[in-house]
Amino acid sequence: MSLASISSRQQPAAQIELDETDHRIIALLRGDGRLPYRSIARELNLTEATVRARVRRLEESRTMRVVAVTDIEAAGYGMLLAIGVQVEDRSPEEVGRDMAAIPEVFSVNIVVGTQDLEILMVAEDQAALQGLLHEKLATMAGVRRLTPALAVNVLKNQPDWVPFHDPA
């Protein structure tokens, strides 16, 4: 698994046109976000200064950024859960913000459908899961119902992948 991720940001600071070289640099960084500019330059038959300037341009335009990604198993978490949350007497946003403050929760989304919120979280083991579900989440103000789903076999979890859209 890659230790870094290339992600696009929501609103680029300035629209830039990407050429084949930009796409190839991005592809190499997606494979290894810690790849030195010298290695990228060698691979693409460019100068190190050219690679450095292009990466800076991509980052400054908010077209891409390189970020660290943690492997949840390597971090000691053996359980991955998706939890649907029904809310009452508080807004989903308020409850979601409280849930987002829990370190084991790494994604909180306000959704439309049967649930008001969908969260993704990890737990170290069964005992930790019990505490998180019953002592932290279920007792939180505004939580009406939790519908947890434990991942028993993760077929794809690719945190280093982000859809990259070229507006050209």
Residues 34, 92: one domain? no
Tell me: do 146 and 83 sit in the same domain: yes
Residue type, 97: R
> What ranges in the chain are assigned the alpha helix state H?
20-31, 37-44, 48-60, 92-100, 126-130
State how far the Cα of 112 lies from the Cα of 18, in Å rounded to an integer: 35
| 167 within a domain of the structure (yes/no) | no
Domain of residue 121 covers: 79-150
Q: Specify whether 48 is located in the same domain as 83.
A: no
What global pTM score does this model have?
A: 0.62
- 94 shares a domain with 62: no
pLDDT tens across the length of the chain (168 residues): 333 444 444 444 567 889 999 999 998 988 888 899 999 999 999 999 999 999 999 999 888 888 766 677 777 788 889 999 999 999 999 999 999 999 999 899 999 999 999 999 999 999 999 999 999 999 999 999 999 999 888 787 766 566 655 544
* 119 within some domain: yes
